[in-house]
Structure 1
Amino acid sequence: MNTNRLSAKLEQALSDQMNTEDLQSRTYFSYGIWAADKGYAGISNFLFRHAQEERDHAVKFMQYVLNRGGKPKITELAAPGEEPTSLTHCFDLVFQHEVNNTTGIYKLVDMAFEEKDWASWNFLQWFVKEQIEEETFAMNLIDKLKIAGGDRASDESLFALDKTLETLPDDAEQAQDATGANP
């Protein structure tokens, strides 16, 4: 008996997003390595922690597909891409990755809506809220660096920024903590 409650199209799209989240994790991991190599231990640690969060997102997609009776497909991942050339470039790349990921999530939401797959549509709402947090996180990185002086920041400002990011919480309020009374 076939117990899969996902269309083949949506199952494939969810698997693709699982792989995208995995690539995002590797990308943040590579940015963390770049930051560590440049002496930014705090920024590196922050990016490594964010890499783990992205991996957790991939696992959420995997578990959801399995729970709906599907079988997620793991694909070969591309290399993370270009290495940052500066902190400004690094944080700009982080922001662009998050915007691209938001676009992917919105396509999934549209697909679930068109198919009237309300379970998938509901599952994806967590990611819609999460992407608001992710984009805010990325914009805050850019803003903090601008306040520090951008690529022309003094060593003291960069040291303070590095220390701030080392202890900064990984994200805003967690999407999974949202309730009907406290969205």
Structure 2
Amino acid sequence: MDTKRLSSSLEEALSTQMNVELSQSHTYLSYGIWATDKGYGGIGNFLFRHSLEERNHAIKFMQYILNRGGKPTVTALGAPAPDPQSLQNCFNQVFKHEVDNTEKIYNLVNMAMEEKDWATWNFLQWFVKEQIEEETLAMDLIDKLKIAGGDRATDESLFNLDKDLGAAEDDAELARNATSENP
């Protein structure tokens, strides 16, 4: 008896997104290494934590595919983008990555809706909420750097920004704590 509860096209698309999340994790890891190497250990730590979060998103996709009787496919990761040229460039890239990822999630939601796969549509709502939080977090990074002075920030303001981001709790609690009972 066939127990697979995903169409082949959705199984493939969800596997692709799992690999996108792994690639995002890889990118944030490389940004964290770059920031730490530049002396921004707090920002590096923040980006390392974000890398782990992206990996956890990949695991969420993997588990869902397996739970629906599918088999996720892991693909090779490409090299991350080149190192940022500045903190401003780094934070702008973080925002761009999140916006691109949001579009990918929306495409999956549309696919699930077109296929009337309501279980997958429901599963993806967690990621819709998460992407709102991810984009907001990225915009906050850009805003904090602007407040610190942007490209003309003083050493003291960058020191404080680095310290604050290193100690910051993850703000995106809503989706991270969501359950089927408490979406």
TM range, smaller chain: over 0.9
User: SS in structure 2 opposite 1:85?
Assistant: coil
**1:80 Cα deviation after fit:** 1.0
Cα distance in 2 for residues equivalent to 1:182 and 1:56: 19
Partner in structure 1 of residue 103 of structure 2: 103
**1:90 Cα deviation after fit:** 0.1
Alignment of 1:35-50 (within 5 A): 35-50=35-50
Partner in structure 1 of residue 143 of structure 2: 143
1:94 maps onto 2:106 in alignment: no
Q: Normalised by the size of structure 1, how large is the TM-score?
A: 0.96
Cα distance in 1 for residues equivalent to 2:9 and 2:82: 31
Q: Which runs of 4+ in 1 moved over 4 A?
A: 178-183
CA RMSD across the alignment: 1.5
Are the counterparts in 1 of residues 130 and 172 from structure 2 also a CA contact under 8 Å?
no
Alignment of 1:151-162 (within 5 A): 151-162=151-162
Percent identity, please.
71
**1:171 Cα deviation after fit:** 2.7
Q: Normalised by the size of structure 2, how large is the TM-score?
A: 0.96
**1:81 Cα deviation after fit:** 1.1
Alignment of 1:1-183 (within 5 A): 1-178=1-178
User: SS in structure 1 opposite 2:173?
Assistant: coil
- Structure 1: tracts of 5 or more residues without a match: none
Give deviations 1:130-179, integer Å, cap 9, x for gaps: 00000000000000000000111000000000000011112323314347
Are the counterparts in 2 of residues 134 and 171 from structure 1 also a CA contact under 8 Å?
no
User: SS in structure 1 opposite 2:3?
Assistant: coil
Give deviations 1:108-147, integer Å, cap 9, x for gaps: 0000000000000000000000000000000000000000
Cα distance in 2 for residues equivalent to 1:142 and 1:14: 30
- Structure 2: tracts of 5 or more residues without a match: none
Cα distance in 2 for residues equivalent to 1:174 and 1:83: 31
Cα distance in 1 for residues equivalent to 2:172 and 2:63: 24
Question: How many residue pairs get matched?
Answer: 183
User: SS in structure 2 opposite 1:170?
Assistant: coil
The amino acid of 2:118's aligned partner reads W
